[in-house]
């Protein structure tokens, strides 16, 4: 569990895109983002107050989050100077970088000396159990995609925000590094050892109130041959009551797999529901979330209307239209 | 890659069952089993020649394989004495124990001093790639089960033996610890990190002759919620041309999951084939392998005849009847 709120470290980000993890934190958990720390030459700006370490500390920040990609896969000496000072000022550090904070001997030594924690969110911090498949109380929703990177996390976060606004009991359960940094907790599922994948999903989504919903962050796709095992573990470990189908209609092949095309929403519905009902016979597909970012408004509206008619399910782009209709469908379960 | 042939270490096994890994090596790769090494009080006997380390060395053995479960999860001092002597005599060590040889400082030190290798087959020894899904040359067969531990490895090994006897080109590809110790090579799939599971299966089953078959060892079940992600990775990483359905008809619940019952063979066929065709549109289900060990001969024969009629596929128990009809079906692909 990463201590919140955060000071968001943007370093010397070459452009706005390099800071997309920090952007996600600011967009989805503004209450976690006390301010931003930018170094000379930084080309990203989240529109947060620029703060020194002392100012952020005084404003209550507990963790410096590296919300930016680094250049060349190396934690530079310029960054190091800030990170060491942050530890000395009493901040924990959290990072989703490929190269780990815990592999940097100087950071490890300073953290130990100062009694601070280093969180590498790509590395599991828990010894997860093997899944036991026992029925848990409370309800769970999972987005499953025709492909990777079609908006499953966005859908879950948008639904969560809508549910909170309605006063429904809901928790977003992160299963990837960005989600973990946004919320401060979760499982980096793609880094978990095979035997414990489903168990880790059970672990992050325990028994809860009967009217509480976990919105479990989806990963991969049953139809993406590189990552389908991860998706499978989410479906069985998550034992969802409700599935949302996620799709991006303009791709001509699966992400990273030039020889593969995405399945239809009907194919996804049939195989995902069959498998989900192994763990939860009551599971239903309740809606479709479409990422229409590469379509015009007219195209998007027409496409969504077509899906809705074909599938008999509410079909929305939560980015254009909000997640209200998906939440209506969930509330009816 | 573990150097063959082996001297099989049975230690102080309390009964025959404790030596089942050694038994598997002796049954399936007798050419790899030069002899057995038994300590005082050993209650297991494979019917191999009892050998001292020197005798086994003279007979050509290269690796001492710990083919036995240890008591209480500790490598005892009595064992240690033999293992250290074996390293000094020039043997590598290989083990499938939960507690690792490489965690024993004395064994690590002696192995380094003697230039010998320690193989813990529960630990991946390769940095596997992420699966790329590219079509590979050669053919592949995978057994998929209604449950775990229904005879998938046995089926693949029996088919492999039959194919070798017929002079067909075939390789058994191990994906679990017993399979790895039997053949000396493979991937301990349940210990691979999630993102690399499918890639590890691609890795162990590379391009091959057009008329060569890889018999990939199955794991878990798409319907077993604890391990279904591992099975999924085998189906997509293996890109099988042929599936064998494996079943044990007498279980009243899924292994380790008292609240779950096994699917029908038809359910397994439909979902496994749908998913397999994502990676290989030409994939077919070619036969059914039934573990009838808890049935009488009459019951078994009647059950198999019923399955064969229902499914329109050859249905055999390879232990009772051999794998010839499954291999016939494969040869017809």
Are A278 and B225 inside 8 Å of each other by CB? Answer: yes
Tokens of A54: 């002392």
The mean pLDDT of A55-74, rounded to a whole number, is: 89
pLDDT band at A76 (very low <50, low <70, confident <90, very high): confident
Amino acid B280: pLDDT: 98
Summarize pLDDT for A205-228 with one digit per residue, the tens: 999 999 999 999 999 999 999 999
Minimal Cα–Cα distance from B230 to chain A, Å? 6
More confident residue, B145 or A20: B145
pLDDT given for residue B317 in this prediction: 98
Is B194 within 8 Å of A230 when comparing Cβ atoms?
Answer: yes
Q: Is the dihedral of CA B172, B175, B180, B184 positive or negative?
A: positive
Q: What is the pLDDT of residue B68?
A: 87
In three-state form (DSSP H/G/I as H, E/B as E, the rest C), the secondary structure along chain A is: CCCCCEEEEEECCCCHHHHHHHHHHHHHCHHHEEEEEECCCCCCCCCCCECCHHHHHHCCCCEEEECCCCHHHCCCHHHHHHHHHHHHHCCEEEECCCCCHHHCHHHHHHHHHHCCCEEECCCCCCCCCCCCCCCCCCEEEEEEECCCCCCHHHHHHHHHHHHHHCCCEEEEECCCHHHHHHHCCCCCHHHCEHHHHHHHHHHHCCCCCCCEEEEECCCCCCCCCCCHHHHHHHHHHHCCCEEEEEECCCCCCECCECCCCCCCHHHHHHHHHHHHHHHCCCCEEEEEEECCCCCCHHHHHHHHHHHHHHHCCCEECHHHHCCHHHHHHHHCC
Q: Is the pLDDT of residue A52 over 90?
A: yes
- DSSP-derived 3-state class of residue A59: coil
* Beta strands across the sheet bearing B33-38: B33-38, B6-11, B63-66, B92-95, B118-120
Mean pLDDT of chain A: 96
CB atoms within 10 A of CB B139: 22
Give the residue from chain B lying closest to A134, CA to CA.
B259
Contact B228 A194 (CB under 8 A): no
Contact A231 B228 (CB under 8 A): no
Of B193, B226, B270, the CB nearest to A131: B226
pLDDT in tens, B99-115: 899 999 999 999 999 99
- Report the C-alpha gap between B183 and B25 in whole angstroms: 8
Tokens of B274: 């749908």
Q: What is the pLDDT of residues B263-307, one digit of tens each?
A: 999 999 999 999 999 999 999 999 999 999 999 999 999 999 999
Mutate to test the interface with B, among A232, A263, A264, A276 (most CBs of B within 10 A): A232
Write out pLDDT tens, residues B205-240.
999 999 999 999 999 999 999 999 999 999 999 999
Residue A134 distance to chain B (closest CA, Å): 7
Query: Is the pLDDT score of B71 beyond 80?
Result: no
**What's the per-residue H, E or C state across A317-329?**
CHHHHCCHHHHHH
pLDDT tops 90 at residue B31:
yes
The contact set of B with A (CB < 8 A) is 130-135, 189-195, 197-199, 222-223, 225-233, 235-237, 239, 256-257, 259-260, 263, 267, 270-271, 274-275, 278-279
Q: Looking at residue B98, what is its pLDDT? A: 84
CA distances from B95 to B101, B184, B204 (A): 7, 11, 20
A199 with B135: Cβ contact below 8 A: no
In this complex, the residue of A227, A259, A263 whose CB is nearest that of residue B195 is A227
Contacts of A17 (CB under 8 A, 6+ apart): none
Rounded distance, CA B217 to CA A205, Å?
Answer: 32
User: Rounded mean pLDDT of A30-50?
Assistant: 96
Between CA A192 and CA B192 the distance in angstroms is 8
Percent of chain A past pLDDT 90, that is, above it, reads: 94
What are the φ/ψ torsions at residue B273 (nearest 5 degrees)? -70, -40
Q: Is B232 close to A228, i.e. CB distance below 8 A?
A: yes
Whether the predicted pLDDT of B173 surpasses 80: yes
Look at residue B151 in the predicted model and tell me its pLDDT. 95
**Average pLDDT value for residue range A89-93:** 98
- Give the closest of B198, B260, B270 to A133, CB-based: B260
Task: Give the span between the Cα atoms of A198 and B197, in whole angstroms.
Answer: 14
| pLDDT recorded at residue B70 | 75
Q: What pLDDT score was predicted for residue B155?
A: 98
Return the minimum-mean-pLDDT range out of A58-72, A278-292, A299-313, B181-195: A58-72
d(CA B36, CA B53): 10
Do B229 and A198 make contact, defined as CB atoms within 8 angstroms?
Answer: yes
In the prediction, which pLDDT does A322 show?
A: 97
**Radius of gyration for the alpha carbons in chain A, expressed in angstroms and rounded:** 20
| Confidence (pLDDT) at A149 | 93
Closest chain A C-alpha to B325 CA, distance in angstroms? 31
Which residues in chain A touch residue B232, judged by CB atoms under 8 angstroms apart? Answer: 222, 228-229, 231-232
pLDDT at B296: 98
Question: Which of these, A185, A188, A184, lies nearest to A175 by C-alpha position?
Answer: A188
For residues B36-55, average pLDDT: 97
Largest CA distance in chain B: 62
Closest CA to B243 of B333, B136, B149: B333
Rounded-to-integer distance, Cα B284 and Cα B202, Å: 19
Span A167-192, average pLDDT? 96
Question: pLDDT band for position B138 (50/70/90)?
Answer: very high
Report pLDDT for A328.
Answer: 98
Question: CA B28, CA B108: separation in Å to the nearest integer?
Answer: 30
């Amino acid at each position: 569990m990463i201590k919140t709120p955060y000071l968001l470290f943007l370093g010397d980000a070459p452009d706005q895109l390099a800071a997309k993890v920090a952007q996600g934190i600011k967009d989805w958990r503004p209450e976690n983002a006390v301010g931003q720390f930018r170094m000379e030459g930084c080309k990203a700006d989240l529109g947060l107050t620029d703060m020194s370490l002392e100012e952020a500390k005084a404003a209550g920040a507990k963790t410096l989050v590296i919300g930016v990609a680094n250049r060349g896969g190396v934690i530079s000496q310029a960054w190091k100077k800030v990170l060491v000072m942050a530890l000395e000022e009493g901040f924990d550090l959290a990072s989703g970088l490929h190269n780990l904070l815990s592999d940097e001997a100087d950071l490890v030594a300073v953290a130990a000396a100062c009694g601070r924690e280093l969180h590498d969110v790509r590395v599991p911090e828990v010894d997860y159990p093997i899944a036991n498949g026992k029925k848990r109380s409370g309800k769970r929703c999972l987005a499953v995609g025709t492909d990777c990177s079609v908006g499953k996390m966005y859908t879950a976060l948008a639904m969560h925000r809508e549910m909170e606004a309605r006063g429904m009991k809901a928790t977003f359960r992160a299963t990837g590094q960005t989600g973990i940094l946004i919320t401060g907790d979760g499982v980096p599922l793609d880094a978990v050892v095979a035997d414990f994948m489903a168990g880790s999903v059970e672990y992050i989504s325990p028994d809860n109130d009967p009217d509480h919903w976990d919105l479990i962050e989806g990963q991969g796709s049953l139809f993406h041959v590189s990552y389908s095992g991860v998706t499978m573990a989410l479906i069985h470990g998550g034992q969802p009551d409700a599935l949302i189908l996620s799709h991006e209609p303009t791709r001509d092949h699966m992400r990273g797999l030039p020889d593969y095309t995405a399945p239809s929403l009907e194919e996804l519905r049939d195989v995902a529901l069959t498998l989900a009902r192994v763990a939860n016979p009551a599971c239903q597909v309740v809606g479709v979330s479409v990422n229409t970012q590469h379509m015009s408004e007219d195209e998007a509206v027409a496409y969504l209307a077509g899906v809705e008619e074909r599938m008999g399910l509410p079909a929305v782009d939560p980015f254009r239209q909000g997640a209200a209709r998906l939440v209506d469908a969930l509330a009816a379960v």
